Chains A and B, each alone.
Chain A
């Protein structure tokens, strides 16, 4: 990884995605997406259902091919980056393989990368310790709670040290208390590993609490309407959630979400904001 530090990890230019079902019915899922994400950033994508935030995440991860536009990850086309194993994915459900133990699940990507057994074992232990599940290596997934399973999924995603962690509503299925604990957990991991994270959510408090930037999207067609810098001091803690600035930013994001119809001018200014918002 000798890439220059000013090179964005993710760089999207004029990305659009149109799904066609049958002959006539087409859905414009994404339109005119321009976005740069710098190394070590924590960027949240937020928007109403159907705004294409999950699609955008999958476009970045090369799981969906865009209809138009270019997607560069670490300066490479997304497909190349996927083959280079630059991504780790975490979904809303843990998607653990029930026929494997917890450690076996964390080792899965390492197996696919062809790492030797001893290295896999050490690495899985290290990752499980990172998410505080060191004592559960030999358990089967069904023996763990939902929150614990999601932590295993994070450990698995980080096991091969991807440059970019893509998280698709990872805590959407958890209760509010667990979700807040997991938020603190993911921030701690992010601060320790320095991984760039793109995080899809529909929770405003979660987006503000975690992110360095929040990308607000609107639906039909899916567009970026606003990018909000979150200038809350780090490290963030439970006190952050009670600070005045936090509430201002939450209100800010909420109001941006309310203005559903971004006019052409609005989109243009949003793009400009983004261009300025490139973080080194």
Chain B
């Protein structure tokens, strides 16, 4: 009996093990991608040379086929991508690619975060208006939805023109534009996701509309809010990068991607490094929101995303 009781895992232990499995799944997936990547190059890539950029090093493996998509130009070796992080970002530069990307990512993140915060506030305000007025909801939700069917690529030059090129505000506006939508849609549902009997309870206390909002609607909506915030976090990064590449901003991942794109022929690994940096920035922002969620929803039922 004692051993049976001891072997029953506590709730937190189960959760920890679940997290552990999740981490292993991620590691496993990365390993599989790397193996597939190098496997394709092994079968049909450019002749393999030892890692690094010393020209004229001997060929150590000559693949039997030549797949165009697996050439060193299109699909550089993963070790060369890894090594590029420690090279100067351009000839004679004092920062290496890793530092350069880190600074650019930080800059992009600041813009994205402003857009994220602003978009969240706008989304919350819109959803609050919509759940209190059927009329507003019916009139304006179609426009909110339509706003997202316009490709941001088409819209961002307009915003940059209107607010002036090289203006960070235009980047923030683009990031806002991409983030207010998931928050609005999720919160229209979230602010109505309370238990109907809880509303009867509040009415039996003769609670005011304000009290109902702050003490019932908003707290009840938090699980859905965090689902939306996770989507908004990654969308804001995408928005900021697109804004930077079209807005002539002299910093940020958007510019880095543009630059490395132009010099792709001479250093394809750098563009891959920038792509990895963009992905890591998105993941980091997502995890940051998850951490806040963890504390905000302590002891509550949580919705899982994806």
Listed in ascending order, the chain A residues whose CB lies under 8 Å from chain B are 58, 61, 63, 82-85, 87-89, 91, 93, 95, 97-99, 108-109, 111-113, 140, 142, 160, 166
B200-228: CB near A (< 8 Å → 1, else 0) gives: 11111111000100011001101000000
Partner of B215, one of A112, A142, A160: A112
Partner of B204, one of A87, A111, A113: A87
Q: Which residues of A contact B215 (CB under 8 A)?
A: 97, 108, 111-112
Cβ–Cβ contact B205 & A85, under 8 A: yes
Cβ–Cβ contact A63 & B203, under 8 A: yes
Cβ–Cβ contact B204 & A61, under 8 A: yes
Q: Which residues of B contact A98 (CB under 8 A)?
A: 299-301
Cβ–Cβ contact B197 & A93, under 8 A: yes
Cβ–Cβ contact A99 & B222, under 8 A: yes
| A109, B203: Cα distance in complex, Å | 11
- A112 with B205, Cβ < 8 A, contacts A63-B200, A91-B197, A95-B195 known: yes
B111-151: CB near A (< 8 Å → 1, else 0) gives: 00000000000000000000000000000000000000000
Cβ–Cβ contact B198 & A97, under 8 A: yes
Cβ–Cβ contact A140 & B299, under 8 A: yes
Q: Which of chain A's residues has its CB closest to B297's CB?
A: A99
Q: Which of chain B's residues has its CB closest to A141's CB?
A: B299
Cβ–Cβ contact B205 & A109, under 8 A: yes
**Would you list 13 pairs from A and B whose C-beta atoms are within 8 A, ordered by A residue?**
A61-B204, A63-B203, A82-B203, A82-B206, A85-B206, A89-B200, A91-B197, A91-B201, A98-B299, A98-B300, A99-B300, A111-B215, A112-B205
Q: 9 extra interchain contacts, Cβ-Cβ under 8 A, other than A82-B206, A99-B220? A: A88-B204, A89-B201, A93-B195, A95-B195, A95-B197, A97-B198, A98-B299, A99-B222, A99-B300
- Summarize B's interface: helix, strand, loop or mixed: helix
Interface size class of B (residues with CB under 8 A): 20 to 34
| A99, B202: Cα distance in complex, Å | 16
Q: Which residues of B contact A108 (CB under 8 A)?
A: 205, 215
Chain A-chain B contacts (Cβ-Cβ < 8 Å), number: 54
Partner of B219, one of A83, A97, A166: A97
Shortest Cβ distance from residue B141 to the other chain A in the assembled complex, whole angstroms: 25
Shortest Cβ distance from residue B291 to the other chain A in the assembled complex, whole angstroms: 18
| A89, B203: Cα distance in complex, Å | 10
| A140, B200: Cα distance in complex, Å | 22
Partner of B201, one of A58, A95, A111, A140: A95
Q: Which residues of B contact A87 (CB under 8 A)?
A: 204
Q: Which residues of A contact B299 (CB under 8 A)?
A: 98, 140, 142
Q: Which residues of B contact A61 (CB under 8 A)?
A: 204
Shortest Cβ distance from residue B67 to the other chain A in the assembled complex, whole angstroms: 55
Q: Which residues of A contact B220 (CB under 8 A)?
A: 97, 99
- A97 with B216, Cβ < 8 A, contacts A91-B197, A112-B211, A140-B299 known: yes
Shortest Cβ distance from residue B122 to the other chain A in the assembled complex, whole angstroms: 24
- A112 with B203, Cβ < 8 A, contacts A95-B197, A98-B301, A99-B300 known: no
Please give me the 7 A-B residue pairs with the lowest Cβ-Cβ distance, nearest first. Answer: A89-B204, A140-B299, A99-B219, A112-B205, A95-B197, A83-B206, A112-B207
Shortest Cβ distance from residue B278 to the other chain A in the assembled complex, whole angstroms: 35
Cβ–Cβ contact A95 & B204, under 8 A: no
Shortest Cβ distance from residue A99 to the other chain B in the assembled complex, whole angstroms: 5
| A109, B207: Cα distance in complex, Å | 9
Shortest Cβ distance from residue A200 to the other chain B in the assembled complex, whole angstroms: 13
Q: Which residues of A contact B201 (CB under 8 A)?
A: 89, 91, 95
Q: Which residues of B contact A93 (CB under 8 A)?
A: 195, 197
Cβ–Cβ contact B197 & A113, under 8 A: no
Q: Which residues of A contact B198 (CB under 8 A)?
A: 95, 97
Among A93, A95, A142, A160, the one with the most B-chain Cβ atoms within 10 Å of its Cβ is A95
